[in-house]
Amino acid sequence: MKAIRIHRAGGPETLQLEDVPQPEPAREEVRVRLEAIGVNYIDTYHRTGLYPLDLPFTPGIEGAGVVEEVGPAVEDVRVGDRVAFANSLGAYCGQKVVAAKALARLPEGMDSRTAAAAMVQGITAHYLTRSTFPLRPGNKVLVHAAAGGVGLLLVQLAKRFGATVFGTVGNREKAEAATAAGADHVILYTQTNFATEIEKLTNGEGVDVVYDSVGKETYERSMACLVPRGMLVLFGNASGPVPPIDPLALAKGGSIFLTRPTVAHYIRDRGEFLGRVDEIFAWIQSGELRLTVDRALPLSEAAEAHRLLEGRKTKGKLLLVP
């Protein structure tokens, strides 16, 4: 079968399409024939070595498709089931072995591309708004990269839970996308200082929480946007990793809170995983949550997908198709 392999850390050019043996499931695993693969920013961190992995490896952590073989100890998944997974390394391929407990069945009527687009980014938006900082009516929220894959979902969920949403974007086309998703105020960070704008728009009060996936370029001004005892949620490093922060800076900022969450710690058991996924799927099917797929590229164009993602040239989700 075909798979993307990385033999050395580096740029998108390190993503090489190769022939590899078909994987065989162990006792509690299944083999999934993938129909759609999600591209996420963490894939670029693995590729560059920011999050080091043993070489060589196949990147990618989410996908959706059809079960074609099950291990002898698997009881609740059958051949022919349509499934999706998140946080399982090695997804840039045609067939992938996944632990049965890490799979979610697709509801009737949901296609693989929708499911693949919903998994990691949907789970992320869910835990950020329901668990990391549970939103309530009246909260004021700042979402960076509000037209990105997670950003568009965060905007929608924040509005669903009654918050006022401020979003930052890089251009007017992305501003239109964030506004269409429900953002109350959209700030073009390329034209104005977002911290100054937040101060104006909130009459000097600030916001209760900042969901910041940008990192190095934004974190200091993000802290300045918070109300006393507000929370800075750093969940990505699109502009580079954040340097060490002096705890006294949190006190000076108003006894603010800082957290650096990651998906794995918010789906620690199957019950938590399925609880989040089931709710996300239900919102999608009811029309309460709209997914935006920017484009779907052939698996052979994984390098181009990474260039688009790192160049901030996408609105919504990027997919690869085997």
CA–CA dist 221, 195 (Å, integer): 6
- DSSP string covering 213-271: SS-TTTHHHHHHTEEEEEEEEE---TT-PPPP--HHHHHHTTS-EEE---GGGG--SHH
Question: To 10 degrees, the CA torsion angle through 78, 79, 82, 88?
Answer: 80
274 is a domain residue:
yes
Query: In this structure, are 14 and 115 located in the same domain?
Result: yes
**201 closest CA partner among 231, 176, 225, 169:** 225
**217 closest CA partner among 195, 187, 247:** 195
101 is a domain residue:
yes
Which pLDDT score, from 0 to 100, does residue 66 have? 98
Which pLDDT score, from 0 to 100, does residue 313 have? 82
Tell me which of 213, 234, 260 is where a domain ends.
Answer: 260
What is the distance of C-alpha 124 from the center of its chain? 6
Which pLDDT score, from 0 to 100, does residue 146 have? 95
CA–CA dist 76, 222 (Å, integer): 45
Tell me how many domains the chain contains: 2
Query: In this structure, are 256 and 282 located in the same domain?
Result: no
The whole-model pTM stands at: 0.93
CA–CA dist 192, 186 (Å, integer): 11
Which pLDDT score, from 0 to 100, does residue 315 have? 78
CATH number for 99: 3.90.180.10
Query: In this structure, are 174 and 237 located in the same domain?
Result: yes
Tell me which of 208, 237, 260 is where a domain ends.
Answer: 260
Query: In this structure, are 15 and 90 located in the same domain?
Result: yes
CATH number for 170: 3.40.50.720
30 is a domain residue:
yes
Q: What is the pLDDT of residues 34-65, one digit of tens each?
A: 999 999 999 999 999 999 999 999 999 999 99
- Identify the domain containing residue 173 by its residue range: 137-260
Which pLDDT score, from 0 to 100, does residue 143 have? 98
Which pLDDT score, from 0 to 100, does residue 316 have? 79
Q: Which residues of the chain have pLDDT under 70?
A: none
What is the distance of C-alpha 270 from the center of its chain? 19
